[in-house]
A = this chain, B = another copy of it.
Amino acid sequence: MIIDCHGHYTTAPKELQAFRDEQIKGNDTPAPLKISDDQIRETIQNGQLKMQQDRGSDITIFSPRAAGMGHHIGTGKTSEVWTDVCNTLIHRVVKLFPKNFIGVAQLPQTPGVPPSNSIKELERCVNEFGFIGCNLNPDPSGGKWTDPPMTDKKWWYPFYEKMVELDVPAMIHVSAACNPAFHTTGSHYLNGDTAAFMQCLTSDLFKNFPTLKFIIPHGGGAVPYHWGRFRGLAQDMKLPPIGELLLNNIYFDTCVYHLPGQELLTKVIPLDNILFASEMIGAVRGIDPETGHPYDDTKRYIEQLALAPDDKARLYEGNARRVYGRLSSQLTRQFAAST
């Protein structure tokens, strides 16, 4: 089985954006969203499901559009209403396609509001919807980086306690940049990944939460490319080796859109810490003229690597089942429901 741990509902019916546009205009609670099951079926069957089938993956760990989270827009109330709508829509996708998608929650974060505010929605998504993780935004301000680092005890720890209790990991994923210094998918995403990794490296977060798990997407931002730098920085700070310090808790996905990047990733990061992902349909949608194939068809690169069958099986499936503690039982439930 091939599990893609990083997919967003980027093809949602246009009614969703119309709802959001109302919010952006200042109306926190627009008229209830009306999207039919047929509309959802159409967007999925012609979108993510078609590409799963074309490319040969089986299950996508699926969440609302990351750039759409827009935690910097409006107030805490705005984010709560928006997040409810987005997560409910993911739940409907999963109910319609239980053999192909499994849910991950957006959180109603807002700059200046403690993340404990997101506990209720996480519980709802996990306990009522069967979601198996969440996307945690290390910078709800959208590129101004005004909130405390992810390692701040008072700010973040109550939320981590709930994650650990529920046995769900978080993908560390910023949303759209509203700072003109950053391009959302070209620099803000990658910079968010790198910043979060370094926050973890310089803290005792995982000493305090030994079972807390983070997935750093986009191949870990700049981290694997600069693995020597990070190993050396940890060493200069008299910290334990990175493996011991971070690799029981931090995982990287394979959203790297060319073969040399995938070669590097799998060369420097232990195979136990890499989860297959493509982020399709996502940031990069074209065909690479150098290969004749889509940039984000990441499976194609991985198939070109000289991985042992057991390593490949872990990267494609085993690691995801281990990192997402609720994945296997939830899949069993979803498969049973679909027969």
Query: A residues engaging B (CB < 8 A)?
Result: 138-139, 143-145, 147-149, 179-183, 185-187, 190-191, 194-195, 197-199, 201-202, 218-219, 221-222, 224-233, 235-236, 256-258, 260-261, 263-264, 267-268, 283-286, 288, 295-296
Contacts and interface: CB of A to CB of B under 8 A. Distances in A.
A267 B229 CA distance: 20
Chain copies in complex: 2
In the complex, the 5 A-B pairs of residues with the closest C-beta atoms, listed nearest first = A228-B258, A228-B257, A232-B284, A225-B225, A222-B222
Nearest to A224: B225
Contacts of A233: 183, 185-186, 283-284
Contacts of A144: 144-145
Nearest to A263: B264
B145 A232 contact: no
A292 to B, nearest CB: 13
Contact of A256 (B145, B149, B229, B257): B229
Contact of A218 (B195, B198, B226): B226
A236 B186 contact: no
Contacts of A230: 186
Given A227-B261, A233-B283, A260-B268, A198 B202 contact: no
Highest count of chain B CB atoms <10 Å: which of A147, A231, A263: A231
Nearest to A188: B195
